Protein backbone atom coordinates (compact mmCIF):
# COMPACT_ATOMS: atom_id res chain seq x y z
CA UNK A 1 0.00 0.00 0.00
CA UNK A 2 2.79 2.43 0.90
CA UNK A 3 4.47 1.80 -2.46
CA UNK A 4 1.61 3.75 -4.09
CA UNK A 5 2.78 6.85 -2.19
CA UNK A 6 5.70 8.71 -3.68
CA UNK A 7 7.30 10.83 -0.97
CA UNK A 8 8.32 9.97 2.56
CA UNK A 9 6.16 12.84 3.83
CA UNK A 10 3.16 11.28 2.06
CA UNK A 11 3.95 7.91 3.61
CA UNK A 12 4.25 9.42 7.08
CA UNK A 13 0.93 11.21 6.63
CA UNK A 14 -0.70 7.97 5.44
CA UNK A 15 0.52 6.05 8.49
CA UNK A 16 -0.82 8.80 10.74
CA UNK A 17 -4.20 8.88 8.98
CA UNK A 18 -4.46 5.09 9.16
CA UNK A 19 -3.62 5.04 12.87
CA UNK A 20 -6.04 7.85 13.70
CA UNK A 21 -8.76 6.20 11.60
CA UNK A 22 -8.32 2.85 13.32
CA UNK A 23 -8.47 4.56 16.71
CA UNK A 24 -11.54 6.75 16.04
CA UNK A 25 -13.12 5.50 12.78
CA UNK A 26 -13.05 9.09 11.57
CA UNK A 27 -10.74 11.16 9.43
CA UNK A 28 -9.10 14.33 10.65
CA UNK A 29 -7.49 17.21 8.83
CA UNK A 30 -4.18 18.09 10.42
CA UNK A 31 -0.73 19.45 9.64
CA UNK A 32 2.32 17.42 10.50
CA UNK A 33 3.57 20.06 12.92
CA UNK A 34 0.35 19.66 14.95
CA UNK A 35 1.16 16.00 15.65
CA UNK A 36 4.90 16.46 16.07
CA UNK A 37 5.35 13.69 18.63
CA UNK A 38 3.63 11.11 16.41
CA UNK A 39 5.62 12.26 13.36
CA UNK A 40 8.86 11.97 15.33
CA UNK A 41 7.99 8.41 16.41
CA UNK A 42 7.11 7.28 12.88
CA UNK A 43 10.21 8.99 11.50
CA UNK A 44 12.52 7.33 14.02
CA UNK A 45 10.89 3.94 13.59
CA UNK A 46 10.40 3.74 9.80
CA UNK A 47 12.04 6.70 8.05
CA UNK A 48 15.17 7.78 9.97
CA UNK A 49 16.22 10.17 7.17
CA UNK A 50 12.87 11.99 7.14
CA UNK A 51 13.22 15.74 7.52
CA UNK A 52 10.54 17.96 6.07
CA UNK A 53 9.95 21.57 6.96
CA UNK A 54 6.63 21.86 5.11
CA UNK A 55 3.88 20.56 7.44
CA UNK A 56 1.13 20.67 4.80
CA UNK A 57 -0.10 17.92 2.52
CA UNK A 58 -2.08 18.49 -0.66
CA UNK A 59 -5.85 18.01 -0.35
CA UNK A 60 -5.84 15.58 -3.29
CA UNK A 61 -3.19 13.47 -1.59
CA UNK A 62 -5.11 13.45 1.69
CA UNK A 63 -8.35 12.39 -0.05
CA UNK A 64 -6.58 9.70 -2.08
CA UNK A 65 -5.10 8.32 1.12
CA UNK A 66 -8.50 8.31 2.79
CA UNK A 67 -9.95 6.30 -0.10
CA UNK A 68 -7.08 3.80 0.24
CA UNK A 69 -7.68 3.52 3.99
CA UNK A 70 -11.41 2.94 3.50
CA UNK A 71 -10.64 0.20 0.99
CA UNK A 72 -8.00 -1.34 3.22
CA UNK A 73 -10.31 -1.38 6.27
CA UNK A 74 -13.42 -2.34 4.26
CA UNK A 75 -15.31 0.81 5.26
CA UNK A 76 -17.62 3.05 3.28
CA UNK A 77 -17.56 6.82 3.17
CA UNK A 78 -20.40 9.03 4.30
CA UNK A 79 -23.12 10.05 1.81
CA UNK A 80 -26.66 11.49 1.66
CA UNK A 81 -28.30 8.07 1.48
CA UNK A 82 -26.55 7.08 4.68
CA UNK A 83 -27.89 10.23 6.36
CA UNK A 84 -31.50 9.14 5.73
CA UNK A 85 -30.83 5.74 7.28
CA UNK A 86 -29.05 7.37 10.21
CA UNK A 87 -32.00 9.70 10.77
CA UNK A 88 -34.36 6.71 10.87
CA UNK A 89 -32.08 4.88 13.31
CA UNK A 90 -31.91 7.99 15.51
CA UNK A 91 -35.71 8.31 15.60
CA UNK A 92 -35.98 4.64 16.53
CA UNK A 93 -33.44 5.07 19.35
CA UNK A 94 -35.22 8.21 20.60
CA UNK A 95 -38.40 6.15 21.00
CA UNK A 96 -36.57 3.96 23.49
CA UNK A 97 -34.75 6.65 25.46
CA UNK A 98 -34.84 10.44 25.25
CA UNK A 99 -31.31 10.93 26.57
CA UNK A 100 -29.10 12.42 23.84
CA UNK A 101 -26.11 10.30 24.88
CA UNK A 102 -28.15 7.13 24.44
CA UNK A 103 -29.21 8.12 20.91
CA UNK A 104 -25.64 9.16 20.07
CA UNK A 105 -24.18 5.85 21.27
CA UNK A 106 -26.78 3.88 19.35
CA UNK A 107 -25.80 5.77 16.20
CA UNK A 108 -22.10 5.09 16.79
CA UNK A 109 -22.85 1.36 17.20
CA UNK A 110 -25.01 1.40 14.06
CA UNK A 111 -22.27 3.08 12.02
CA UNK A 112 -19.70 0.57 13.24
CA UNK A 113 -22.00 -2.34 12.35
CA UNK A 114 -22.51 -0.86 8.89
CA UNK A 115 -18.74 -0.22 8.54
CA UNK A 116 -19.51 3.37 7.69
CA UNK A 117 -17.40 6.39 8.53
CA UNK A 118 -19.20 8.64 10.98
CA UNK A 119 -20.10 12.15 9.83
CA UNK A 120 -18.64 15.12 11.65
CA UNK A 121 -19.60 15.80 15.25
CA UNK A 122 -21.91 18.71 14.39
CA UNK A 123 -23.78 16.52 11.89
CA UNK A 124 -24.21 13.83 14.53
CA UNK A 125 -25.39 16.47 16.98
CA UNK A 126 -27.97 17.72 14.46
CA UNK A 127 -29.15 14.16 13.77
CA UNK A 128 -29.64 13.45 17.48
CA UNK A 129 -31.41 16.78 17.97
CA UNK A 130 -33.80 16.19 15.07
CA UNK A 131 -34.64 12.72 16.39
CA UNK A 132 -35.40 14.01 19.88
CA UNK A 133 -37.60 16.82 18.54
CA UNK A 134 -39.41 14.34 16.30
CA UNK A 135 -40.06 12.04 19.24
CA UNK A 136 -41.25 14.92 21.42
CA UNK A 137 -43.73 15.96 18.72
CA UNK A 138 -44.87 12.38 18.23
CA UNK A 139 -45.57 11.98 21.93
CA UNK A 140 -47.32 15.37 22.11
CA UNK A 141 -49.65 14.38 19.27
CA UNK A 142 -50.49 11.11 21.04
CA UNK A 143 -51.24 13.03 24.23
CA UNK A 144 -53.53 15.40 22.32
CA UNK A 145 -55.50 12.47 20.89
CA UNK A 146 -55.80 10.86 24.32
CA UNK A 147 -56.85 14.19 25.85
CA UNK A 148 -59.50 14.76 23.15
CA UNK A 149 -60.86 11.23 23.57
CA UNK A 150 -60.94 11.61 27.33
CA UNK A 151 -62.88 14.88 27.11
CA UNK A 152 -65.46 13.43 24.74
CA UNK A 153 -66.08 10.41 26.98
CA UNK A 154 -66.61 12.54 30.09
DSSP H helical ranges for 47-120: 59-73, 80-96, 100-114
> How would you write the pLDDT of the chain (154 residues) with one tens digit per residue?
667 788 889 999 999 999 999 998 889 999 999 999 999 999 999 998 888 778 789 999 999 999 999 999 999 988 888 999 999 999 999 999 999 999 999 999 999 999 999 888 899 999 999 999 999 999 999 999 988 888 776 6
Last residue of a domain, one of 39, 57, 73: 73
Range of the domain at 42: 2-73
67/107 same-domain check: no
Give SS3 for 58.
Answer: coil
User: How many Å apart are CA 46 and CA 125, to the nearest integer?
Assistant: 39
141/85 same-domain check: yes
pTM of the model: 0.76
Number of structural domains in the chain = 2
Amino acid sequence: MLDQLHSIKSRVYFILQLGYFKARLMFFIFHLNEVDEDVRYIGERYFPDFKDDDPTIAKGTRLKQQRLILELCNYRSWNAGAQKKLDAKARQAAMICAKPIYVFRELIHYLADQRMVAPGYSSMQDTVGRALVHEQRRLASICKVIWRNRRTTL
